[in-house]
């Protein structure tokens, strides 16, 4: 076993917990909380007990480096910090009010290769990003001129036995990243959507994880992301049909819609949300008729290959339908109706517009699917021609837009 010692200055050092319940143990288990300027962070701490490999290309590390570059003084507020596990820690206040901290930790040698070792147990991306900003090889134009303004929080576990090190590492690294939509909710970005979502549908949509954890009917299967997706289908501002631009990303990239979200981009259509959900019901009702209850001879055979099935499904409105239809067979139909919205208003009552174009569009969609040789649902949904065909179905019949 190789014993390493390291010494550095900390702005604060506090022993926040001591476990002296194990009699006869040479040293009690302790947890310390340290706050230090990142420029005082010691180099070359081992990653031995960390369950994850730190990667500067990972999204969290990129975000940390961006903060260190643009607003380093905010780093300590945005970051969860670093957790170390060491053999011993001593802290002594020095002149000026800072603390001189001395750590001792063990590194495995060739004879103890099964020992995880001490070092960074959690927060490996944080440590690697800080080391890169301070001492790494930077690309041209990559500078961190005010990194001296950045501080980091460090939790240090002392006197932890090897078996506990492994258990703590697993436990600390099982946490899931907070989804982007939940962070947006924290910032109040979804308030307008919530305002226009009919109250009777609210229980079917979560705006943050585990929101309806104790719901006797089970957790809703929809999130606010699904509502953003549907609003995007009607967003002529972002997807101008006159420029042959289509909301294909509503199908292929829901995450990008969330990351690029701006209330200003959707302000003109928030009020259409109830109508959009009503239209989705009508589309699904038509699918039901064409796939099992139609006497018109136009019956479409739903197959698993198409991503559809005879299994029943529930819509955001709570309406149950007798089959499951893949998104590529619903979204392009809904998106075509954006041609019938002018200055944020329907050009006619929605019922009239559905009567004129609804079944026509659903039929045209299945006709297009058959003509393309029954390709996979994913390929069909990604194809620009799918969306263009349905848009043109309305554009050729209605020119006063």
Determine the Cα–Cα distance for residues 160 and 181; give it in Å rounded to an integer.
37
Structural domain boundaries, residue 223: 180-395
**297 is a domain residue:** yes
Left (φ > 0), alpha (ψ -120 to 50) or beta: where does 97 sit? left
Q: Are residues 133 and 33 in the same domain?
A: yes
- End position of a domain, from candidates 172, 201, 230: 172
Task: Note the pLDDT of residue 173.
Answer: 67
Residues 251-282: tens digit of each pLDDT? 988 888 998 999 999 999 999 999 999 999 99
Q: Are residues 261 and 362 in the same domain?
A: yes
Q: Are residues 168 and 192 in the same domain?
A: no
Residues 357-392: tens digit of each pLDDT? 999 999 999 888 888 765 678 888 889 999 999 999
Q: Are residues 146 and 241 in the same domain?
A: no
**124 is a domain residue:** yes
**329 is a domain residue:** yes
| Tokens found for residue 232 | 């995007």
**57 is a domain residue:** yes
Q: Are residues 104 and 86 in the same domain?
A: yes
Task: Note the pLDDT of residue 401.
Answer: 42
- End position of a domain, from candidates 124, 144, 172: 172
Q: Are residues 149 and 240 in the same domain?
A: no
Q: Are residues 131 and 221 in the same domain?
A: no
Q: Are residues 112 and 245 in the same domain?
A: no
∠335-339-343 over CA atoms, to 5°?
A: 115
| Tokens found for residue 231 | 């609003």
Averaged pLDDT for residues 50-79:
89
Beta bridge partners, 35, equal 12, 153
Task: Note the pLDDT of residue 142.
Answer: 95
Residues 147-200: tens digit of each pLDDT? 999 999 999 999 888 777 777 777 776 666 678 898 888 788 999 999 999 999
Q: Are residues 186 and 158 in the same domain?
A: no
**11 is a domain residue:** yes
> Is it the case that residue 293 has pLDDT exceeding 60?
no
Task: Note the pLDDT of residue 294.
Answer: 44
Q: Are residues 143 and 35 in the same domain?
A: yes
Q: Are residues 73 and 157 in the same domain?
A: yes
Q: Are residues 154 and 234 in the same domain?
A: no
- End position of a domain, from candidates 148, 172, 196: 172
Sequence-separated (6 or more) residues with CB below 8 Å from residue 1: 106, 107, 108, 109, 112, 115
**400 is a domain residue:** no
> Is it the case that residue 347 has pLDDT exceeding 50?
yes
**401 is a domain residue:** no
Residues 311-329: tens digit of each pLDDT? 889 999 999 998 889 999 9
Can you give the pTM of this predicted structure? 0.65
Domains in the chain: how many in total? 2
């Amino acid at each position: 076993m190789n014993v390493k010692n390291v010494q550095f200055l900390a702005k604060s050092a506090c022993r926040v917990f001591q476990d002296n319940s194990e009699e006869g143990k040479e040293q009690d288990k302790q947890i310390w909380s340290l706050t230090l300027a990142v420029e005082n962070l010691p180099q070359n701490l081992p990653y031995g007990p960390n369950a994850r490999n730190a990667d500067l290309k990972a999204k969290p590390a990129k975000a940390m480096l961006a903060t260190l570059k643009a607003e380093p003084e905010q780093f300590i507020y945005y970051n969860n910090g670093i957790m170390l596990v060491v053999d011993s820690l001593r802290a002594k206040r020095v002149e000026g009010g800072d603390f001189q901290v001395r750590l001792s930790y063990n590194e495995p040698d060739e004879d103890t290769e099964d020992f995880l070792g001490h070092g960074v147990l959690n927060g490996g991306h944080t440590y690697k990003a800080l080391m890169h900003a301070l001492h790494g090889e930077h690309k041209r134009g990559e500078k961190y001129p005010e990194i001296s303004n950045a501080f980091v929080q460090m939790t240090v576990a002392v006197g932890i036995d090897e078996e506990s090190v492994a258990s703590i590492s697993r436990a600390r690294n099982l946490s899931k990243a907070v989804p982007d939509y939940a962070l947006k909710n924290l910032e109040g970005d979804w308030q307008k959507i919530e305002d226009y979502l009919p109250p009777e549908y609210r229980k079917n949509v979560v705006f943050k994880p585990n929101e309806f954890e104790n719901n006797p009917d089970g957790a809703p299967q929809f999130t606010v992301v699904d509502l953003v997706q549907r609003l995007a289908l009607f967003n002529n501002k972002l997807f101008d049909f006159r420029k042959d631009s289509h909301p294909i990303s509503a199908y292929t990239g829901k995450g990008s819609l969330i990351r690029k979200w701006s209330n200003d981009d959707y302000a003109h259509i928030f009020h259409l949300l109830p109508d959009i959900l009503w239209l989705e019901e009508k589309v699904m009702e038509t699918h039901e008729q064409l796939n099992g209850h139609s006497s018109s001879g136009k019956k479409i055979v739903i197959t698993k290959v198409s991503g559809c099935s005879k299994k029943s499904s529930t819509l955001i409105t709570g309406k149950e339908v007798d089959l499951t239809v893949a998104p590529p067979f619903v979204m392009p139909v809904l998106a075509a109706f954006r041609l019938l919205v002018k200055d944020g208003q329907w050009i006619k009552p929605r019922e009239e517009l559905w009567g004129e174009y609804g079944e026509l569009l659903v039929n045209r969609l299945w006709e297009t699917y058959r003509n393309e040789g029954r390709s996979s649902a994913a390929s069909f949904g990604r194809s620009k021609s799918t969306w263009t065909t349905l848009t043109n179905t309305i554009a050729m019949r209605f020119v006063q837009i």
